[in-house]
Amino acid sequence: MNFIGNVIWLLFGGIIAAIMWLLAGFVLCITIIGIPFGVQCFKISAFVLWPFGKEIEIGNFGVGGLLFNILWLIFFGWEFAITHLIIGLIFCITIVGIPFGLQHFKFAKLGLIPFGAKIY
């Protein structure tokens, strides 16, 4: 069932979402300071491409991860999270779209705190 969900996901916006995360990663990697944030965008992009059957565990990020998560949240994270929340709410309007909306809610959580998050 996860395979079918992922294929439908790719056809109805998953590729576009992954490309957007990739573009954000490339833009952030332009400067040396932005490279750690760009790397996180690349990781999230791979997750966004094939999300069904995977879960996120947030935590265990240490002092450096806490600092990067705070900077991420101030400068980038809230935009990513709000975007995924809005898209998730739009998907949840219909019964058929609820599984896709739930995936966007996972991305919103990951968009807020990417450093130290583990994807299973």
- Residue 102's pLDDT is 92
What pLDDT sits at residue 82? Answer: 94
What's the pLDDT score for residue 64? 85
Torsion angle in degrees (nearest 10) through CA of 90, 82, 16, 8? -40
Q: Is the pTM of this model over 0.75?
A: yes
Strand partners, 118: 57
pLDDT number for residue 37: 92
Q: 65-114 pLDDT, tens per residue?
A: 889 999 999 988 898 899 999 999 999 999 999 999 999 999 998 888 89
Rounded Cα gap, residues 99 and 18, in angstroms: 18
Residues 51, 91: Cα–Cα separation, whole Å: 15
Q: Kindly list the distances between the CA atom of residue 57 and the CA atoms of 16, 94, 107, 115, in Å, as whole numbers in the listed order.
A: 24, 28, 12, 11
